[in-house]
Chain A
Amino acid sequence: MSPGHKRQARLVVALGAAVTLAGALIYTSFSAASPALSPSQLLRQARPGQQYQLTGTVVPHSVTRTGEVLRFAIADRAGGGGGGGGGGAVSVTYSGIVPDPFREGREVIVTVQKQGSAFVGERNSLITKCPSKYTVARPSAAPKY
C-alpha cells in the first residue's frame, strides 16, 4: 500500500469512527431525553412510568412540608410559555434537595413520573431558574423599550 493510500485508509477509518460515535450520541440523546411539558400538557398526555420535565410556576400557598416530603402545585407559566396555555395545576410530591430560590410564584423544573393518579418528583431533581441570570421580570418595573 502506498503512503497516500494508507493515509486515505486511516482518514476513512477515523471519520467512520467519528460518525459512529456521533450517531450513538445523537441516538441516545433522543432516547434518554425526557419531554419538557407544561402542567396542562402533562395532565393531558402523561403516561404512567414515563419521566417528564415539568416546567411551570409554583402555585402560591400550595407548598407544605411533612418531614422530608415536600408537596407543592405547579401551574402553567403566565403568558402561556411552553405552548400549553390554559389552566390546570399539577400537585407534586417531592423529596430531596430544595434549591434556595425555590419559592411560591417562582419558575421551577422538576422531573416527575406519574404513579397512580399522583405525580412524584424524582429525588434531587428540582431546579429553579438560575438566579444569576440577571433579569427577573419585575411587574413593578416600567417597560424599557
Chain B
Amino acid sequence: MAALGRTCLLLALAVCVYGIGASLYGARTGMAQWSDSGRRAVYALAVVLTVAFGVLEGAFLGNRFAFNTVFDTSSATTPLFYRAAAVWSSQEGSLLLWAWLLSLWSSLVLFLTRGRMREVAAYATAILLGFGGFFVSLMIFYANPFQTTSPAPAEGMGLDPLLRFPTMMIHPPMLYSGYTLCTIPLAFGMGALLARRLDAEWIRATRRFALAAWLFLGVGIVLGARWSYSELGWGGYWGWDAVENASLMPWLTATAFLHSLMIQEKRGMLKVWNTSLVLATGTLAIMGTFLVRSGVLSSIHAFGGATLGVPFVVLIAVLIAGSIYLVVSRREMLRSENRIDSLLSRESMFLLNNLVLVGLCFVIFWGTYFPLISEAFTGHEASVGAPWFDRYTVPLALVLVLLSGIGPAIAWRRATAANAVRNFTFPVAAALATLVVLLGAGVERKALAIAMFCCAAFAIASVAQELWRGTRARGSIAREAPPLALVALIRRNRRRYGGYVVHVGMAALFIGVAASSSFQHQSELNLSPGHSTRVGAYRVAYVRPTATVTPAYDSAHTGATLTLGAVLRVSRGGRYVATLRPSEGFYDSGEPSQGSVGHLIGGQPVSHVSIDGGLTRDVWSAIAPDISTPHLQHVIEVGNRTIPFVRPDEGMIAVAVMAREYMRNPPPAQFHFEVSPLVMWIWIGGAIVFGGGLIALWPAPATVRRRARALARARTAHGLARA
C-alpha cells in the first residue's frame, strides 16, 4: 500500500507540472482546449491525492506500523477515533492534508468558474497547481508520509495524549481549509493582474471562497482556543503563541478584504488596496503554514527539524516579490473610479476599519517575528510577551468593535446630522445605559473592560435597530407577521444581514474575552482530602480522591492506563455551587528503560480538566496528583523487579495496586482553580459568528442572483460606455 501512496505522490507531481504547462500555454495562446486541459489536471490532482490520503488513513486505521508516520503518532491502544485523527498530527500527514484540501477546494472553484474568465482562470489554475506541486514536492523530497520501515514494528509510539481531545478531529482540517482557501483569491487575483482583466469579475467569482476561507479560519481559531482552555491545564484560551498568531493574521486581512470589497463593488474604489489585501492574505496563509512547519522561531517552538525552512522561504519570497511587481506594474489599471465624498460616510468607516485591522495584523506580525527581527538588528534573540501584545491589541479591538456598530448604521457617501441623530440615538443610549448599570451594580472599575462592554452594547444595539427597522418596513409592505418578515428580510439580503449577525457574534465574543481576562480569579491550591480553602468568594473542598485503571474505564476515552483525580465541592457563602471532578491521565510511554510497570504510566500525564460552565461564569479546575510518594514508588519498583516486560497484563495488576494504594493513603494534591466570568460567551459568540457566516455564504435565491447579475452587466455596460 505504501508503494501505491508513493506512486500517487509522483503522479500528483507529474499532474501538477503538466497542468501548469498546459494552463500557461492556454493562457498565452488563448487556446481554450489547453486551459481546459489544465483545469482537468486540477481535478486529476484531487483524485490522485484523495487516493493517497485514503491510503494513509487506511494505514492509520489498520495499525500498519511499517509506515513511519503511523509508528510515530499512533498505536494499537490509541482509541479508533483518535487513530483516524492522528493522520494530521505528523509533519508528513499534515502536509498531505494541506495538499489534498488545496486540490479539493481548487477543483471546486475551477468547476464553478468553468466557461467564464478563461484567461484569468487559466493563470489561477497554474498558480494553484504551483502551490499543489510545491507541497507534493515537499512530501516527496523532505517528509514523505509513505516512508516505511522493514520489518514492521509490532506497536507504535501512540498519539500524543494532549491531542486526544474531540476537536482534534475537526480543528486541523478547519484551519487547513481556511489556509488553502486563502490561496484561491490570491491565485485569481494574481491571474487577473497577469491577464490585465481587472474588472470586478474575479472578485465576484472568488468572494464566496474568500468568505469561506475567513469562516473556516475563524472556526479553526475558536476551536483551537477551546482546546487550549479545556485540555491544556493552564486555564487560558489565548496566549499570543506564534502558531495562534500565524492563523490570526490572514484572518484579520481577510476580514479587512471582505469589508473593503464592498466599496469596490459599490463604488469602484480601493482597487489597489483590495488587490494588495488579497495577495497579503494568501501570503500570510502560506507564512502561517511555514511558521508551524519549519521551526524557524526555534527558541520558542522548535518543532522537530528545520528542514522545511529553505523551500518555504523561497516560496514566500517569490510570492511577495511577484505580488509587489504585479501591483506596481498594473497600477494604472487599478485606478479608482470614484473618490470618497466625506469622512463621515460608510466608505470612510470601512476604510478606517481596514486600517485598524491591518494595524492589528502589523502589531501581531511584528510581535510574532520579533525574535527574528531582534536577532537581525541587535544580534540577540529576544521576544515580547503577552503584555506587549495586549498594550496594542486591546485599544485596537475597542475601536474595531465600536466601528462594527457605526458601519451598519451610517449612510453611504455622506452622513448628515439628521441621519446621525436618527441612526445613533438608540445605540448611544444603549451604550450609556450599559455604563450606568455597570457602575451602579458596583462592577470593579477596570476601564478597558467597561469600555469594551459599552462598545459591544453599542454594536449590538446598532444591529438590532437595523434588523428592527428592516423587519418593520417589510412587515408593513408585505403585511407579514414580524418573525416571518425578519426571516424574509434576511433571506432577501443574506450577505448584508449575515454580516450583521457576525457583528453581534463578535461583540458577544469580545464581551467574553474582556470579562474573563479582567475579572478572573485564579489560584494554585495544595489540598489534602477533607480539607478546604477559600478562593475569592468561593470555598473549595477536596471531598475525596478518585482512581480508575485500564483504558476501558478511562472516562474521557483517551486511552489512559491510570487516571487519578479528585472530587471537589465548590460553594459560595455556604450555598452549593458545583461539584468538579478533575483528573489526570497517565499513559503508556512504551519506553523499556522505565521498567515493566513504570512504562505503563510513564508517558506524559495529561490533565482532564473539569469545568462547570454557565452563562455567567465558569468554575474550572485541574489537578496534578502526586505519585512520587514512597509507597506508590515502592509499588512501581517491586513491579519492575518482579514482572517481565512482555507481560503488560500483569503490569496492569501492579497499576491497579497503585490505584488502590492511592485511594487508601491519598497524598495532598496540587489544584489549579479558576473562576472566570462570561467565558461561555466566547464560544457562544463564536457560534453566532459561524451562523452569520453561513447565512452570508449560503447561495442567494435564483431571483436575487438574476437581479445581481443584471446589475453587474449594467455596471459593465456603463463602464464601457464611459471608456
Contact = CB atoms under 8 A, between A and B. Distances in A.
Interface string B143-182: 1100101000000010010110000000000000000000
A96 B378 CA distance: 32
Contact of A101 (B162, B243, B526): B162
Interface string A129-140: 111111111101
Contact of B89 (A134, A140, A144): A134
Contacts of A138: 72, 157
A97 to B, nearest CB: 5
Contacts of A135: 72, 90-91, 303-305
Given A33-B384, A134-B89, A135-B303, A68 B524 contact: yes
Interface residues of A, number: 50
17 contacts: A29-B366, A29-B367, A33-B374, A36-B299, A36-B371, A82-B299, A95-B524, A100-B233, A100-B234, A100-B605, A127-B239, A133-B301, A138-B72, A141-B71, A144-B68, A144-B143, A145-B143
Listed from nearest, the 7 A-B pairs whose CB atoms lie closest are A135-B304, A133-B303, A33-B382, A100-B233, A131-B162, A35-B382, A36-B381
B388 interface: yes
Interface of A: 7, 18, 21-22, 25-26, 28-30, 32-36, 53, 55, 65, 67-68, 77, 81-82, 95-101, 103, 107, 109, 111, 125, 127, 129-138, 140-142, 144-145
A85 to B, nearest CB: 15
Contact of A129 (B301, B370, B624): B301
A145 B304 CA distance: 14
B142 interface: yes
Contact of B302 (A81, A125, A132, A140): A81
Given A34-B383, A133-B243, A134-B90, 13 more contacts: A22-B362, A25-B363, A34-B385, A55-B299, A103-B604, A109-B300, A132-B89, A133-B304, A134-B303, A135-B90, A141-B72, A144-B143, A145-B141
**Size bin of chain B's contact surface:** 35 or more
- Does more than half of chain A's interface fall in helix, strand or loop, or is it mixed? loop
A134 B73 CA distance: 9
B232 interface: yes
B94 interface: yes
A129 B302 contact: yes
Given A135-B91, A144-B143, A144-B147, A29 B298 contact: no
Contacts of B299: 36, 53, 55, 81-82, 109
Nearest to A68: B524
A99 B233 contact: yes
Given A65-B670, A136-B160, A96 B90 contact: no
B307 A35 contact: no
A137 B387 contact: no
A111 B243 CA distance: 20
Contacts of B232: 99-100, 131
B383 A97 contact: no
B606 interface: yes
Contacts of A65: 626, 670
